[in-house]
Amino acid sequence: MGWLTMPFTSMGGHPTAKAYLDAQFTYTRDVAGGTKALRVLASSCPQNRTYYAAAQVMTNGVGGETFAIVCKVLWCPKSKTGENFGYKDMEESMGPCEDDCPGSILDLLSPTDNEYAQGWRQRCRARLARRARKLEHGDRVRLETPVKFVDGHIGSEFIVEKRGRRLSLRDPETSLRYRIAGFMDLPWQVVPVTKVHKTIFA
């Protein structure tokens, strides 16, 4: 499915992308012999970039399968064309490239045999695992793939420096400090460093 775009006035009074999409994917329809419905159990749309939701299929008021909906979001408050909001919806069986779904939403999904959905869930879980890795001030880390910086330096090993929630990387040879966007999403490992303890004489 392609993109659907609209001005803010067409969002039905919903103030955010999340609120609008929650309403779009929560509905009830009359069918022969009863009703068919979809209900959003939980959703997230950080920074109005990508919407993730766990949606449950309802039949005559009884809950059934819960699957994931993923929407790429276009949010342009100052759009000159008046197309302030847009979205492109997918569901997990399409194997979306976007794989930043929160664990709380993944935990609500029903088991599936669909290989694309399984692959998507595995990528989301792997990303969550990477972000959960712990780093301490002074740790030495090695990137799986060397990074080239704007000053021309290419490096793969760095010393972690933490100041509160800020994290920078110091090259162990030059002592120059660098930042790498999306560092916690990259494949790297902590390099064991032998620590020499002072000898204490009695």
Q: List, for residues 41-86, the tens digit of each pLDDT value.
A: 999 998 889 999 999 999 999 999 999 999 999 999 889 888 999 9
d(CA 92, CA 67): 7
Q: What is the pLDDT of residue 2?
A: 84
Residue boundaries of the structural domains of the chain: 4-131, 140-190
Structure confidence at residue 193 as a pLDDT band (50, 70, 90):
confident
- For residue 194, pLDDT beyond 80: no
How far are the Cα atoms of 23, 37, 97, 130, 151 from residue 158, in angstroms, in the given order?
46, 52, 30, 18, 16
pLDDT, average across residues 113-119: 97
Structure confidence at residue 29 as a pLDDT band (50, 70, 90):
very high
Pick the closest to residue 3 from 50, 72, 100 (CA basis): 72
Q: Write down the pTM of the prediction.
A: 0.83
CB 67 within 8 A of CB 110: yes
d(CA 10, CA 189): 48
Q: What is the pLDDT of residue 32?
A: 87
Structure confidence at residue 195 as a pLDDT band (50, 70, 90):
low
* Burial degree of 26 (CB within 10 A; 0-12, 13-18, 19+): middle
**Tokens at residue 15, please?**
């103030």
